[in-house]
Chain A
Amino acid sequence: MPDKILTTHSGSIPRTLRLQEVLLNKAAGKDVDAAELDDACQEAVMEAVNGQTQAGVTVINDGDQSKTGFANYITQRLTGFEGEPEDRVLNLEQREFPEWAGTRRGRRQPCTGPIEWKDFSAVTADVKHLQAAVERLSQKPAAIFMTSVSPGTFTNHNTNHYYPDDEAYLTAVADVMKREYDAIAQAGFIVQLDSPDLAARSNNYPDLELSEWRKIVERNVEAVAYATRDIPEEQVRVHVCWGANAGPHNYDTQLGDIVDLLLKLRGKYLTVVAANGRHEFEWQVWKDVKLPEGKVIIPGVIDSTTTIIEHPETVAERILRFANVLGRENVIAGVDCGFGTSVSPNRTDPKIVYAKLGSLAQGAAIATKKLWGNS
């Protein structure tokens, strides 16, 4: 049993400038020296690990430093994605606010052949870098996590043009991704499955009715259980979100419409968006929910889409709302979504990210004092 509110975040942190350049070069198909990439990654992971630790975060990761994007990194690791990228469907927000949406269109890489590992060394390198960085810490974290894309998000981001049907594709993805999930767990880390597929209907299936879309979510929830079957539940956490962008979000599915499915997820930990103004009211949902034994909810108490640094008292208030409903030992304080979900020249200053994480830790300390008193 923890004797305080632990803190964590959603995974990604802006890359270091050096690594950003290397990753962008690699993504552009330029020759990148393997040793340079490895060194830049190791250095960046050290910085991310130190930054989180100094901010006071207790459940830490590598900041997704080696990844070009939280989901699209996988096409560099697997075969089957050699075709031309295609346009994403327009989401409901883009349709309602065309003036806002402008000409921005997401692209995605379809699956056009059998998916198999072509570079598993990227996974082992991630594990090695994170272990080495934690090794050097004098004060060890309460736990370590590493993110990986969920089967359902994988299939949303990379449409199927090869497997006979969606079912077969999802199974193939789960079978292949299992190797990455298992490797992360075997290193002693918590595997975080990044799963916007479980919430973001507007981005992926804007034309499906809620009830139809829920069937897809249900299938994706089953895929999580299938792919993590050999990992202890204590080492599985699922990050559910509606996209990390500061868009309108007015078509976000409400948590109340999916919480029953989310509670069927295999894994001890579930992260939910709870800090931004579209979802902050949803703490109320948990009043009517029976939390399965041992389940821990990680609400976002920091909004990842704004550079405004939350006041620790605001953070504490948000934590207390959840702790009072769910029980203090069933809550870890988190961040809505990633701070750097893809490598981008327009990155947020990491110093602001660490200041926000500092507010998170200070807010958790205030909440801890109120929840545990001096006992």
Chain B
Amino acid sequence: MKTSSTRILTTHAGSLARPPKLVPLLDAQNEGTVDQDEFDRATRKAVQHVVRQQADAGISIISDGEQSKRTFSTYVLQRLGGFGDEECVDMPISLDEREFPNWGYRHRKLVPCVGPIAWKDFSAVEKDIKNLRDASAAVPHEEVFMTSASPGTVANFFPNQYYASREDYLEALADAMRREYQAIVDAGFILQVDCPDLALRNFWFPDTTIEEFRGVVAGNVEALNHALSGIPESQVRLHLCWGAGETPKIFDVPLTSIIDVVLKAKVGAISFVGANGRHEHEWRVWDELDLPEHMILIPGVIDNSTNIVEHPDWVAERIVRYAGVVGRERVIAGVDCGFGTGASIRPGVDPPLAMAKLKALSEGAEIASRQLW
């Protein structure tokens, strides 16, 4: 993993809006009615486009914007067997919704796991890798990353109706996802495991106490480590978040309540929410932690949930704050969460503005670099 050795590097949380033409294709793929050649051509083109956009915005560690994925987590449905045919399990009612019933929530149903988890289409991973490798070869960048869902996240989105226990289910998911993780790393990319499962008590485990939830997190970290065994920590970054949406967030577990457990993950960097007003103050938490020597921080210094384009001077101030806590070499400037976590979910930031925000990110990193070097 490249680090900010001579200047502050920049990256983002992974997903970017899909081009309008790709959205119906992703929906059709979900329905099983897509023309595969058309889909492949469209995703390949979309990856080229977003890779170019990131380079134009001056981002140093770039991704495919998850163009081939309908959502950051449920994309596994096309890749793995063992899931049911229909969305039939209710998501829990979140604590936010209980407190603010008029806010306007999407009530989604989930596809359960009803059989043994096994790969059915690994070529989707290979296509993603090829698309990103080819697209990134054509633009200036420092490094390339690719996202993948953590075992705990898949377990949350696909409730278990088959395995004897959550532990068994997590282990099966870890064994399967491991192949995807390994392929991403073998391609020379940085693997980003998307881990809202390590923070999102409010959505997934609203009725647990913090202590009970810490137990869930510990189980998820254990499964993640199992899936990552044999993969060098320095090739993996973990994205920790509380959901990408502009929700009230008052029930977000504080970073201090979970970070000791999260830090047991065998990864080289942690990407986390640092820009939105619910979590901005948590930069101080890192000062009080006994952070492992090798661990790189990728704080969000851009808020993915608002159209307001951050001022580069403010981005710089946020970066410098983190550099003051852990040292400039251990900070990579990032974004709170994805700009397009789901293809057909209306993003918190209108797509043309997301690029303006990425530009503000790289300008802010330049200002910070001048101050720090």
Contact surface of A with B, Cβ cutoff 8 Å: 97, 99-100, 246-250, 275-281, 284, 302-303, 305-311, 313-314, 316-317, 349, 351-352, 355
Contact = CB atoms under 8 A, between A and B. Distances in A.
Interface residues on B, range: 35 or more
A100 B278 contact: no
A247 B308 contact: yes
Given A97-B353, A281-B314, A355-B250, A305 B281 contact: no
Given A275-B277, A309-B278, A100 B352 contact: yes
B307 interface: yes
Given A309-B249, A352-B248, A246 B317 contact: no
Given A247-B307, A305-B308, 8 more contacts: A97-B356, A100-B352, A248-B356, A275-B277, A277-B314, A306-B305, A311-B281, A352-B100
A249 B309 contact: yes
B308 A248 contact: yes
B247 interface: yes
A77 B369 CA distance: 55
Residue of A308, A311, A349 most packed against chain B (CB within 10 A): A308
Contacts of A311: 277-281
Interface in B100-114: 100, 102-103
A246 B314 CA distance: 17
Interface string B280-307: 1100000000000000000000110111
Interface of B is mostly: loop
B247 A307 contact: yes
Contact of A309 (B250, B316, B350, B352): B250
Nearest to A336: B308
Contacts of A303: 277, 306
A313 B317 CA distance: 18
B158 to A, nearest CB: 28
Contact of B307 (A248, A275, A280, A316): A248
A355 B247 CA distance: 12
Interface of B: 99-100, 102-103, 246-250, 275-281, 302-303, 305-311, 313-314, 316-317, 350-353, 356, 360
Contacts of A247: 307-308
A249 B308 contact: yes
B354 to A, nearest CB: 10
B103 A278 contact: no
A126 B357 CA distance: 42
A311 B350 CA distance: 25
Contacts of B246: 306-308
Contacts of B278: 308-311, 314
B98 to A, nearest CB: 12
18 contacts: A97-B350, A99-B352, A100-B352, A100-B353, A247-B308, A249-B308, A277-B311, A280-B317, A302-B277, A305-B306, A305-B308, A306-B276, A308-B276, A310-B277, A311-B277, A311-B279, A351-B99, A352-B100
